[in-house]
Amino acid sequence: MSEHFSKFAHIESRFGLPGIREAARIAIEVSLKVKPFEEVLIISNPVSDVAALAQALYDAVIDVRGCPVLLFQPVKTQLDFAEPAVIAAFSAKPAVCISLSAEKLGKDRQGIAAPYRYQDTQYDHIFHLQMYGEKTCRGFWSPATTAESFIRTVPIDYALLKRRCGAVKSALDEADSVRVTAPGGTDIRIGLRGREGRSDDGDYSEGGRGGNLPAGEAFVSPENGTAQGIIVFDGSISLHDRDIIIREPIRCTIDRGFITDIQGGEEAAALTETIKLAETNAYNYEKAGTFPSGTGDAYARNARNIGELGIGLNPEARISGHMLEDEKAFHTCHFAVGLNYDGDAPSLIHLDGLVKNPTIITYTKGKETIIEQNGIYQE
């Protein structure tokens, strides 16, 4: 028996074969709605638990008469490049792509050096080109997931989740700005003019649709240069190579969209280290010719950008130190440090950090809409 299959058996013994198979079935049949003969590319690492989940998803695709291909590569962090063979697999134009990585899928070296263009938009990863530009692909990505989390958080009421995500997205779409306050000290206001909210509701059944499993958030990219105030991260946070539970809160001062000061203990020092690493690598990549000439400054500057506000809406999610699940947890919101989702703030990092029990209020031409009050979602 191979090491991979022995690990798969170990997962089965811990959580039960029916549990892992049912979660995989829901992912393939309910979320992705994979059809017979559709090509499904699954990218993972030979690391438990993601390898076991990848195998279960492979089997679930077979069950619906799809055509799966499973690729393993070494573990990649936020600052690493995907293996060339992984990037090359996208040339087959798979209908579905699933990334089950112990950390990240990995960056596209060719796409960063010479971005792909579709209509008026540039993409620095072939997956993003096919997903968001050409819309030939759909899928989900579950970085650093665990079998326990996947089994618990994937089998949920997706109709209810879709209604809630849709309602929050609509509030963000209509808003001119949003203010977030929290007991831990967060008090920040963000402009939203020209921005559209996004809904990660688990419905990835059409080309161009994708998100996380577990699903369960509505999110938006702030209007560049508008975030102003204080963010105190007090739940968990992503670093370039891991996610951590925050023991001593991280206090970030935000001025005109960028972090200008970081205070706290070991966690704050770790966040600062990751940001500085992203800044340094941006210039190093430009010098090495990995980045086009003149782009290093933008990538380095945006390492301190506030690139996302997200609101967790999955009732089964909880703060566990795995950001994939943490950012979906009820009674939380999260802000991302680094690149945004609108393509006008490129960065080597996207670091999600949780704020607990927030009050979130949108403003539209003077009208206030309360999305959450002290962490309680307002139906």
Q: How confident is the model over 124-174, as pLDDT tens digits?
A: 999 999 999 999 999 999 998 999 999 999 999 999 999 999 999 999 999
pLDDT of residue 227: 98
Structural domain 3-148, CATH architecture: 3-Layer(aba) Sandwich (3.40)
Owner of token pair 């010719």: 289
Q: Which CA distances in Å does 76 have to 44, 83, 218, 252?
A: 10, 9, 27, 28
Enter the pTM of the model: 0.85
Q: What is the mean pLDDT of residues 338-353?
A: 95
Residue 291: per-residue pLDDT = 86
Tokens of 363: 């403003």
In angstroms, the CA 62 to CA 81 distance is 30
Q: In the prediction, which pLDDT does 79 show? A: 87
**38: nearest Cα among 137, 142, 141:** 137
> What percentage of residues in the chain have a pLDDT greater than 70?
95
* d(C-alpha 216, C-alpha 294), whole Å: 38
Q: Is the pLDDT of residue 49 over 50?
A: yes
Q: How many of the other CB atoms lie within 10 Å of CB of 153?
A: 24
Structure tokens at 353: 């950090």
159 burial level (CB within 10 Å; 0-12, 13-18, 19+): exposed
Mean pLDDT of the chain: 94
pLDDT the model gives residue 13? 54
In whole angstroms, how large is the CA radius of gyration of the chain?
20
Helices 50-63 + 17-25 axis angle, to 10: 60
Does residue 108 surpass a pLDDT of 90?
Answer: yes
Amino acid 11: pLDDT: 53
Structure tokens at 120: 């008026």
Encoded tokens for 146: 């665990």
Band of residue 343 on the pLDDT scale cut at 50, 70, 90: confident
Residue 379: the pLDDT is 85
Q: Rounded to an integer, what distance in angstroms lies between the CA atom of residue 353 and that of residue 362?
A: 20
Q: Return the domain boundaries, the chain.
A: 3-148, 156-377
DSSP string, 99-116: EE-SSB--B-HHHHHS-E
* Nearest CA-CA partner of 155 in 59, 21, 330, 50: 21
Task: Give the 3-state DSSP-derived string for 174-229, with helices as H, strands as E and coil as C.
Answer: HCCEEEEECCCCCEEEEECCCCCCEEECCCCCCCCCEEECCCCEEEECCCCCCCEE
DSSP 8-state assignment for residue 153? H
Q: How many angstroms separate the first and last alpha carbons of the chain? A: 51
Kindly report, residue by residue over 75-94, the tens digit of the pLDDT: 999 889 999 999 999 999 99
Mean pLDDT of 1-16: 49
